[in-house]
Amino acid sequence: MPIHDPCALLNRLLQEPSESAWLEFKVNNKDPREIGEYVSALANSAMLLGRDRAFLVFGIEDRTKRRVGTELRLQQLKQGNEDFTNWLARMVEPRVLIEVLDFVCDGLAYSIVAIEPSYERPVKFSGAEFIRIGENKKKLAEFPEHERALWIATGRRRFETAVALSNVTADDIFAMLDPDPIYDLNDEPRPKNIKKSFEKWLMQASFSTTSREGSTSPT
């Protein structure tokens, strides 16, 4: 799902203690191939760690996490005569959700690449798979144990358990879900208190999940 508030996302990522296998901070890096390799490495590392997204953030010093801004504009970047975003999507396989953001917060420019890991197999860039080992980006083939673990992780990952959207309010959720038809079908008035309505939905979803998990298939 699209990121609606990149500044809020940036603030949340800066609350992390440091860079990690799914989070990379940089200031300026205009090499499209280097960025593509990081997309593969971060996506695969996020899958191993059970993260729903990985992030490559430009405009932040990696050691100090100091906000310095960036000269990079990913949406204006070119690889040959092709837009960077189109080229990146073509070079990455399998197709995964990659969101490229250029934005300004408090007068400083930033760019973020948000990457969703693959649910079917390790992510390749230009035919090669990458992984984060410590603070370094490496070829996955050099680490067979990580490669085996990644294949196992992709095999047990379910799309339904992923986070659809983050950094949203209850109002945002109801605006996107449009719950009015549900109340109409149940012949119920829509609650004036959105929080109460939201709590009711959560209780129903929890009960439904518990019922499914506790049921057994007929023999």
**Could you report the per-residue pLDDT of 122-170, keeping only the tens digit for each?**
999 999 999 999 889 999 999 999 999 988 887 655 555 555 555 556 6
Residue 110: beta bridge partners? 103
Measured CA to CA, the distance from residue 73 to residue 112 in angstroms comes to 10
Torsion sign, CA atoms 79, 82, 84, 86 = negative
Q: DSSP letter for 17, please.
A: S
Looking at the chain, the whole-number percentage of residues with pLDDT higher than 90 is 55
* Element counts in the chain: helices (H) and strands (E): 7, 10
What pLDDT sits at residue 194?
A: 63
Measured CA to CA, the distance from residue 110 to residue 132 in angstroms comes to 23
Which of 125, 143, 186, 114 lies closest to 48 in space, CA to CA?
143
- Cα separation values, 83 from 88, 105, 129, Å: 9, 25, 23
What's the pTM? 0.70
**Other C-beta atoms lying within 10 Å of the C-beta of residue 157:** 16
Over 90: is that where the pLDDT of 103 sits?
Answer: yes
**Other C-beta atoms lying within 10 Å of the C-beta of residue 193:** 8
